[in-house]
Chain A
């Protein structure tokens, strides 16, 4: 029997006042006119809670761009869902925050692009850094769990210690240090964002030291880039196994990047129930379990831990969604990743020589995410 989903990721909008170069949103964004209505989302929450979902992650884009956000939180809370808001903080006034708390919000995850204002604003393509600091001060005095999310990549990881110090001063309970994951816009910009091996090793040392120093005060969780690991990450805890994502127009996906995989038809919650989509739809069954696995995954003892890695990564790097994730050192296509890493490591060394690490590289080197959905 198929286990029930535990978490729902609700991408309530693709609209966002920020334009981060590492954004994992799809290149084709959903316009606001096509977004699900308040009632449709409420229905999604009810169905999900009945299926056994515990966590609801409200994300986007920027969820605060939806004027009905407070009502959505209230409905979700009413269904018994544990509600988490993943936000840039832009659009959060003190009054709106109080409304959200009263509506039953359980957790807020506030993202920072850097500790240095100019660099942060540059990465986000918006002057938002100062506003985020204000927002952090508003949040910290409530009984809502507070996580700060620091997104790291080649352009900022060298001053990770400064970023941790900033987070510490904002007094969250939890700090997530997330190495960029290469999907969507981040994948477009991977050559500028992927850190060097040396940077990754250093960052892990910095993180370990901070974890020790802040133990019992701030819990630090780190997401490392699996390009440098021996084995891939267990993407989404396995395809169609723990989590489902619903995009702004109601398409149900096993993960946020799954739409890049050709030949899969993803169902819409306007046409089907979530229970049916989860249990029966082709797209959710396609890479569920082990029957789809190629060798070496099929006979590898790690298959119950990483589920063969990420399907989208396999498609993006190797052109085959059913291949062993090329990030895995045992994958037949692993040389593609090694090649990419070799490129990045040699070029980064050359570029960094002329570039002060604090200032972001020339805009022209990025294929920017500066577009907005209409």
Chain B
């Protein structure tokens, strides 16, 4: 199992997808569902197997006008690691 690196290209795991629209969008997976905050949704929307982790962090920093991108990076690492443990994200 590899760690999340700048060049990793995370993507939603098989059988994990969005249901619903807009604010009500829910991430649904085999035995459960997650309602996520906007930033979390923004991260996952970029987990398409194309974006590298580094790109995702940059795009987020721009989108949210972040003064401290390293904080975003930290949060994103923790979030994606957690989702990988649940087998919702692969990288």
Binding site for B on A (CB under 8 A): 6, 54-55, 80-82, 84, 106-107, 109, 142-147, 173-174, 215-219, 221
Contacts and interface: CB of A to CB of B under 8 A. Distances in A.
A234 B16 CA distance: 25
Contacts of A54: 19, 26, 28, 33
A87 B83 CA distance: 27
Contact of B14 (A109, A173, A217): A173
Contacts of A81: 19
Given A55-B28, A215-B85, A217-B1, 17 more contacts: A55-B33, A80-B20, A82-B17, A82-B19, A82-B28, A84-B30, A106-B30, A145-B14, A145-B15, A145-B16, A146-B15, A173-B13, A174-B30, A174-B87, A215-B1, A219-B85, A219-B87
B15 A107 contact: yes
B30 A107 contact: yes
Contacts of A173: 13-15, 30, 87
Contacts of B14: 142-146, 173
13 contacts: A54-B33, A80-B19, A106-B15, A106-B30, A107-B15, A109-B30, A143-B15, A144-B14, A146-B14, A173-B13, A174-B31, A174-B87, A217-B1
Interface in B1-47: 1, 13-17, 19-20, 26, 28-31, 33
Contacts, number: 55
A143 B1 CA distance: 20
Nearest to A109: B30
Contacts of B20: 80
Contacts of A144: 14-15
A20 B78 CA distance: 43
A337 B87 CA distance: 37
A69 B87 CA distance: 27
Contacts of B16: 145
A142 B33 CA distance: 22
Contacts of A82: 17, 19, 28, 33
B84 interface: yes
Contact of B1 (A106, A109, A142, A216): A216
